[in-house]
Amino acid sequence: MSYAYLFKYIIIGDTGVGKSCLLLQFTDKRFQPVHDLTIGVEFGARMITIDNKPIKLQIWDTAGQESFRSITRSYYRGAAGALLVYDITRRETFNHLANWLEDARQHANANMTIMLIGNKCDLSHRRAVSTEEGEQFAKEHGLVFMEASAKTAQNVEEAFISTAATIYKKIQDGVFDVSNESYGIKVGYGGIPGPSGGRDGTSSQAGGCCS
């Protein structure tokens, strides 16, 4: 399928916060309470529409355990967007956000759009991090923030799509040189041609986000 733009994402955050479930809810519209844990990386893709333009999202879902960072780090490079996820019922996953941000800032391009997601908001009776704290953290670090639930699908579409809208706006504002694929953006058919000219995205010649 042809697209105007292709954006590459990465999903990061502590183990067990629901990264794979968010991706599955977004790509397949289903929730899987019992599933194998993620070893290394997983991949998902979906088309969305922004400003009447078809946009392809290619998403890398990463293993959350510290040991795996040596592998997942290379996926920051060439990502246009990141979903940084914590679990509102587990305080420590919120406390580790600063580490994740530092990792992202170190290994990603400076213009990567980061969306902070407080997942599992359906479990409000077990809440350990208030919405205000999430908002506050996002504000301090210049992130977009949402609470979401991969289980009920609340805000899942919105999280992925509003990240894309932010990236799209940055393109319009000329923040990116879209011909440079290291930003995690590719121009397809119907996109704004970069210096290399508009390209046909039908062959989906999208590159990986690491080398």
Partner 1 sequence: MEKKRANDEFEPGPILPSQSVDRFEFIKQEQNSSEGLSTSRSANEHEREERRIRKWRKIIGVGGSDWKQYVRRKPHVVKKLIRKGIPDCLRGLVWQLISGSRDLLLMNPGVYEQLVIYETSASELDIIRDISRTFPSHVFFQQRHGPGQRSLYNVLKAYSVYDRDVGYVQGMGFLAGLLLLYMSEEDAFWLLVALLKGAVHAPMEGLYLAGLPLVQQYLFQFEQLVKEHSPKLGQHFSEEMINPSMYASQWFITLFSYSFPFPLALRIWDVFLFEGVKVVFKVGLALLKFCHDDLIKLPFEKLIHALRNFPEDAMNPDTLLPLAFSVKVSKRLEELQQEYEKRNGGTLPKAGSTNRLLQAIKHKELSIKPERSNCVQKDDPSPRILH
**Alpha carbons 65 and 204: distance in angstroms, whole number:** 31
For residue 165, the minimal CB distance to partner 1 (Å) is: 22
For residue 210, the minimal CB distance to partner 1 (Å) is: 7
DSSP per residue over 61-112, as a string?
A: EE--SGGGHHHHGGGTTT-SEEEEEEETT-HHHHHTHHHHHHHHHHHS-TT-
**Closer residue to partner 1, CB minimum distance, 43 or 189:** 43
For residue 180, the minimal CB distance to partner 1 (Å) is: 15
**Closer residue to partner 1, CB minimum distance, 95 or 136:** 95
Residue where the block lists tokens 């509102």: 88
Side-chain-side CA neighbours of 80 within 13 Å: the count stands at 33
**Closer residue to partner 1, CB minimum distance, 37 or 192:** 37
For residue 119, the minimal CB distance to partner 1 (Å) is: 15
E strand or H helix at 62: strand 53-62
Residues that bind partner 1 (CB under 8 A): 15-16, 30, 32-43, 45, 58, 63, 65-71, 74, 203-211
**Closer residue to partner 1, CB minimum distance, 6 or 146:** 6
